[in-house]
Structure 1
Amino acid sequence: MSIQSTIEATTASLSPSLQRIAAIVRERPQIVLESTINQLAEACETSVASVVRFCQAIGLTGYAQLRVTLATELGKQAAQFGPSDQGAEISPTDTLEQAARKITTLELMAIDETLGTLDFAVMETIIDHVESASRIILYGIGASQFVADDLQHKLFRIGREAFSFRDPHEAWSAAALPIGGVVALGISHSGETHETLKFLQIAADNGAYTVGLTGVPGSSLAKLADATLLTKVRESTFRAGAMVSRIAQLALIDCLFTGIAQRRYRFTVDALRRTREVTRGT
């Protein structure tokens, strides 16, 4: 995971003083390269000791390592995606074109890092369980609901018994049925959405194989699930529910679906052909 994505995933668990540092570094990572530790502490209205604690909270030994790590990371980003400020936060003075380029860069980086760090052994295990599942139940709230709906639509078109729920009571009721061979997938970027956690817990209590899709490795969802798929993202300031995280989630969902579809390749191709033909022109 990149250090910027680590900061994104860790921020919510930090103390207020460390969150101020995280917010400034997320908004303008170049400040670390341009400032001494004293200057950064002053800019964040905090102490040098807090800056050191911040570095340790994100897995680094200190400020020197943060500067080296960020410099390397920003250099790679510039080489791969263009000028490093394209991945920075959107500012009030940005033109529409500049803002669009920044969003594009954030989304490209999210897909690249999410798939670049994907644990394919975990993905294969999940596919094994889905392949033999009698029922697949999916749940998420807000933007995560759209991701769940997307996977349900794809799986349903290739003949899989998949259900996505919009009402939490319906999701909990489905999860409470002690049917053998159920796979339950809960989606939450923060990994702390109450309704999604309850859905996955009920499913686990009734014998389902549980999967979590989240952007926070140490979240409650990640700890609860039998298997976890992780996104690596840096969200924009204008985060209406989800923007970049949704793209990363959809990338994982597409990989999951592709792995499932490959297991019954000929049937999948025929099923997609049949459903495409029957809906063509309607």
Structure 2
Amino acid sequence: MSSKLKETFYGVPGVATPPAPAALMAKVRTLAPSMTRSMQRVAETVAADPAGCAALTVTGLAERTGTSEATVVRASRLLGYPGYRDLRLALAALAAHQAAGHAPAVTADITVDDPIADVVAKLAQEEQQCLADTAATLDTGQLDAAVAALVAARRTDVYGVGASSLVGQDLAQKLLRIGLIAHAHTDPHLAVTNAVQLRPGDVAIAITHSGRTTDVIEPLRTAFDRGATTVAITGHPDGEVTQYADLVLTTSTARESELRPAAMSSRTSQLLVVDCLFIGVAQHTYETAAPALSASYEALAHRHNPRPAR
């Protein structure tokens, strides 16, 4: 895990602000899969019963979850709180929020027998939850820094394979349309070859939900070694990819199921992060971005509606 990520999730004073109580559920959904089993029990227990857990001491919660006090503290820090006391305060606030009638969203799996209307409703609910979780857990400080790096970059390389390659291509074409130099690489060999040409002032972005896709990690590591600013967009902030990332943007995902693998559900939150990056860059470069966008729209409109031949 990168030092910046440790600062974000381990509560280093003056660096990261603990997440708001409403973001706690999103943190649990996003981070629980990458926790140890004992820490998962702590995270899942506090999410299931925030009011009851808020009344427990660290010893009491350790006994309830069959873990140790040290595990409770580590879980608290991984969820973004400096210590268990801060987590208890967030749990109390969350319990009050729920008592006021704001019940947490409940997701439902899609089955082979579901009518198409139910499939639409369930997918819409999952997508909404995925976007809400990503927005709640996204570190805006890291996002700001990534935007600033993109604005100043000589060029930007984006790496992704499979479903993530589609997201990478989306980001690259967005940046190109506002006049920036950006390339999306889906071939791992070409990605590494191009990464060798990067230098300080350039940006390399790796998109991998699992955080352990070798074909994405290798070019990012090469870019990191060359001094480029490196960014990881991942659903697993403890994944190997973050070892070579100066900045980490964490995404959420709907629950994986037999009919809906993680590659499908993760793309929604990845696209949200891409849109946030693009809008941030466009805001900072508005004087050049706006005319570039207009020119691209005009060129596309002319292509689809060519002037009649004389």
Same fold (TM over 0.5): yes
Determine if contact 1:5/1:233 at 8 Å carries over to the other structure: no
Task: Give the letter aligned to residue 52 of structure 1.
Answer: G
Determine if contact 2:27/2:137 at 8 Å carries over to the other structure: no
For residues 137-216 of structure 1, the aligned pairs below 5 Å read 137-216=157-236
Check 1:178–1:147 CA distance in 2 against 1; reply closer, same or farther (3 A cut). closer
Task: Give the letter aligned to residue 144 of structure 2.
Answer: E
Determine if contact 1:74/1:84 at 8 Å carries over to the other structure: no
**Are 1:274 and 2:274 matched, yes or no?**
no
Determine if contact 1:210/1:225 at 8 Å carries over to the other structure: yes
Task: Tell me the secondary structure at the aligned position of residue 206 of structure 2.
Answer: strand
**Are 1:252 and 2:273 matched, yes or no?**
yes
Match for 1:107 among 127, 130, 142?
Answer: 127
Task: Tell me the secondary structure at the aligned position of residue 185 of structure 1.
Answer: strand
Q: Per-residue deviation at 1:216?
A: 1.4
Q: d(CA) in 2 for partners of 1:190 and 1:101?
A: 27
Determine if contact 1:18/1:51 at 8 Å carries over to the other structure: no
Determine if contact 2:26/2:134 at 8 Å carries over to the other structure: no
Q: Which residue does 2:146 correspond to in 1?
A: 126
Q: Per-residue deviation at 1:178?
A: 4.4
Q: Per-residue deviation at 1:79?
A: 4.5
Q: d(CA) in 2 for partners of 1:84 and 1:74?
A: 13
Percentage identity across aligned positions?
Answer: 30
Task: Give the letter aligned to residue 33 of structure 2.
Answer: T
Q: Per-residue deviation at 1:51?
A: 6.0
Unaligned runs of 5+ in 2: 1-22, 50-62, 305-310
Q: d(CA) in 1 for partners of 2:110 and 2:67?
A: 28
Task: Tell me the secondary structure at the aligned position of residue 263 of structure 2.
Answer: coil
Task: Tell me the secondary structure at the aligned position of residue 110 of structure 2.
Answer: coil
Determine if contact 1:90/1:236 at 8 Å carries over to the other structure: no
Check 1:182–1:119 CA distance in 2 against 1; reply closer, same or farther (3 A cut). same
Q: Which residue does 1:44 correspond to in 2?
A: none
The farther-off stretch of 213-222 and 51-60 is 51-60
Q: Per-residue deviation at 1:253?
A: 0.6
Q: Which residue does 2:282 correspond to in 1?
A: 261
The farther-off stretch of 189-198 and 49-58 is 49-58
Q: Per-residue deviation at 1:50?
A: 11
Q: Which residue does 1:6 correspond to in 2?
A: 28
The farther-off stretch of 160-169 and 5-14 is 5-14
Q: Per-residue deviation at 1:58?
A: 5.5
Q: d(CA) in 1 for partners of 2:178 and 2:272?
A: 19
Task: Tell me the secondary structure at the aligned position of residue 137 of structure 1.
Answer: strand
TM-score, normalised with respect to structure 2: 0.69
What do the CA deviations read for 1:41-80 (whole angstroms, capped 9, x no partner)?
Answer: xxxxxxxx9963599585598xxx9xx89x959959x947
Task: Give the letter aligned to residue 221 of structure 1.
Answer: V
Q: Per-residue deviation at 1:113?
A: 2.1
Q: Per-residue deviation at 1:99?
A: 2.4
Q: d(CA) in 2 for partners of 1:202 and 1:115?
A: 30
Determine if contact 1:140/1:186 at 8 Å carries over to the other structure: yes
Determine if contact 1:212/1:228 at 8 Å carries over to the other structure: yes
Q: Which residue does 2:18 correspond to in 1?
A: none
